[in-house]
Amino acid sequence: MRLNYGKTFLLGFGFFGVSIIWGVYNAFVPLFLANKFGLAPAFIGFFMTLDNIAALLIQPPVGAWSDRLRTPLGRRMPFILIGAPIGAIAFGLIPIASILPLFVACTSTLLISMAFWRTPVIALMPDITPSKFRSQANGVINLMGGLAGIVAFLGGARLYEMNPAFPFWLGSVLVIVAAALVLIFIREPKEYASLEERPSMWASLKQIFTDKERSGLRILLAIFFWFVAFNAVEAFFTLYAYNHLHMTEADGA
C-alpha cells in the first residue's frame, strides 16, 4: 500500500488557496494601510494581528463543529463551499476600497470567512490519509503551500507593478479554482472514528501541561515561539523594504 500522491496533490490545492490569500494579504495590506490610509506602525501591527485573533476565536469551535457535522457532502466540504467564495469576493474588493471603513469591512469579512474554512480543509488530510502516510502527505501539502508563496510574492509583485489590485484578483480566482478542485475530486470517508474516544481541546491542553513527560509541552512552546518570530517579521517586511531599504512596493514582496 502506498500514498496516493495524485489525491494528496489535489487535496493540497486547499492549502494552496489558503496560502496564496495570506501571502498576498501580508505582503500588500500593510502598504495600503501605511501609504493609502496613513496609519501609524502601531495601528498597522494591531490590524495585522486581527487574522490571528479571528483564528483563535473561530477555528477551534469550527473544527469541533466539523468533527460532529454529518451531511451528504461530508463534514468538511460544507465549510469550504461557504467560506471559500465569500473569502474570495471579500479579498477581491480589498484593493478597490477607497475609504478606511469599507477597507475594514472587506478585510474583516475575509478574516472571518478564511478562519471558517481553514481548519476543515486542513483536517481533510488526516481524514482521507492512513496514519502511516500522514507525514508524507503533510510534506506534499506544505509543498503546495510553498508554491502558493512563490505565486503570491514573485507573481504578485509583478502584477502589483501593473496594477495594485491585480495580485488580489489573481488570489481570488485561484482560491475559487483550488476550492473547486477539492470539492470535485476529494471524497470524504463515509465512516468516522467515534468522537467519544477523543478528549476535548481543554482536556488535551491540561494533559500536556500536567504530564510528567514534557515533550508535548516543549513542542507546543517551540511552535509558539516560531510563530511569534515569524509573524513579527511577516507583518512589516514589505514596509521595511520600502521605507528603509528604499525598494519599490513590488520589489519588497
pLDDT-flagged residues of the chain (< 50): none
Specify the CATH architecture of the domain 5-188.
Up-down Bundle (1.20)
The closest alpha carbon to 164, from 233, 112, 101, 103, belongs to 103
Q: Counting Cβ atoms within 10 Å, is residue 61 exposed (0-12), middle (13-18) or buried (19+)?
A: exposed
- Residue 222 identity: A
49 CA to centre of own chain: 13
**C-alpha span between 249 and 241 (Å, rounded):** 8
Per DSSP, the residues of 164-186 read TTHHHHHHHHHHHHHHHHHHHH-
Cell numbers representing residue 135 in the block: 507525514
- Cβ atoms of 116 and 192 closer than 8 Å: no
Sole residue written with cell 467515534: 194
pTM given for the model: 0.87
What does the DSSP 8-state code read for residue 199? Answer: P
Q: What is the pLDDT at residue 143?
A: 94
pLDDT digits (tens, 9 = 90+) for 96-117: 999 999 999 999 999 999 999 9
The Cα 190–Cα 35 span in angstroms is 51
Residue 29: Cβ within 10 Å count: 23
Residue 4: per-residue pLDDT: 86
What residue segments make up the domains of the chain, in order of their start?
5-188
Distance CA 187, CA 8 (A): 12
Cα–Cα distance for residue pair 121/179, rounded to 1 Å: 9
What was the pLDDT predicted at 199? 66
Give the pLDDT confidence score for residue 202 in this predicted structure: 76
The pLDDT score that the predictor gives to residue 43 is 92
- Count CB-CB contacts under 10 A for residue 166: 17
* Residue 30 amino acid letter: P
Over residues 119-133, the pLDDT tens digits come to 899 888 888 898 889
pLDDT of residue 240: 94
